[in-house]
Amino acid sequence: MGNFFGWMGMREQQRVLLASRDHMGKVLEVTRLLHSALKHFCAGELDRAAEIHQQIFNAERQADELRRELLERLSEGMFLPADRADLVHLVERVDDVADYANGAARLVSLFREAPPEPLRDGVAKFGELLLQATQQLAAALDKLTEGDRKTALELCTSVERAEEEADTLKAALFREMFAMDLPAGTLVLLRDLIESMENTADKAEDAADLLRVLAVSRFS
């Protein structure tokens, strides 16, 4: 099977795809840091969680810079319209993962105490799922660039399953949270945090769907 560069053809297009892997790596760094921030948050180590948010903010800004560079290359390169559109959408959806993860970390930095004990395992688990989904998304892109369509598709399915697990976890956390007698401010912050984490998972799945389209339409 010819590799992904065989489809891209031109040297310039090869560079764009390789650069998208750099962008993906930076997004993965954001979710890895969020995973760490959530663990510290659940342990009541709020100062450390806030410090990590600053690292997340910086990494997300670097991801934005890489996204802009990618879109500039895509606007200037010689691509077929369908190819350009698919790649633009992929870059945007991957970047959305970092945006929503940064939003979740920002919300964590607003808390003045750890989440209620019954929610801690679930909140920490959410961070694990987001990291897992992004790792699998990054691996899927790597496999696609290598021309391994079968493994790329399997990894995309794994991202989808992680997102489904995140949906289930969100529902469980909401049931637990709304059954508790929490101050209104804490309730709102927790709701927004859980929504931001679920949105992060949703965007990872959206990106996986686009990778699946590329794999099926370009390698069939």
Domain region containing 149 = 8-219
Separation of alpha carbons 44 and 99, rounded Å = 25
Q: What is the pLDDT along the chain (220 residues), one digit of tens a residue?
A: 444 444 444 455 556 667 788 999 999 999 999 999 999 999 999 999 999 999 999 999 999 999 998 888 777 655 554 566 778 888 999 999 999 999 999 999 999 999 999 999 999 999 999 999 999 999 999 998 888 889 999 999 999 999 999 999 999 999 999 999 999 999 999 999 999 999 999 999 999 999 998 888 754 4
Q: Domains in the chain: how many in total?
A: 1
Residue 147 lies in a domain: yes
Answer yes or no: are the C-beta atoms of 131 and 159 closer than 8 Å.
Answer: no
Residue 161 lies in a domain: yes
Return the number of other C-beta atoms located less than 10 Å from residue 183's C-beta.
8
Separation of alpha carbons 208 and 205, rounded Å = 5
Half-sphere exposure of residue 88: CA atoms within 13 angstroms, side-chain side:
14
Separation of alpha carbons 201 and 191, rounded Å = 16
We report the CATH number of the domain holding residue 135 as 1.20.58.220
Residue 168 lies in a domain: yes
Residue 1 lies in a domain: no
Residue 173: per-residue pLDDT: 97
Tokens 């909140």 belong to: 123
Q: Which of 121, 127, 100 is nearest to 38 (CA)?
A: 127
Determine whether 178 is exposed, middle or buried from the number of CB atoms within 10 Å of its CB (0-12, 13-18, 19+): exposed
Return the number of other C-beta atoms located less than 10 Å from residue 160's C-beta.
18
Region at 9 (left for phi over 0; alpha for psi -120 to 50; beta for the rest)? left
Residue 180 lies in a domain: yes
Residue 108 lies in a domain: yes
Residue 158 lies in a domain: yes
Query: What's the pTM value of the predicted model, to 2 decimals?
Result: 0.89
Amino acid at 65: E
Residue 135 lies in a domain: yes
Determine whether 23 is exposed, middle or buried from the number of CB atoms within 10 Å of its CB (0-12, 13-18, 19+): buried
Q: Which of 110, 136, 109, 147 is nearest to 33 (CA)?
A: 109
Residue 46's SS3 state is helix
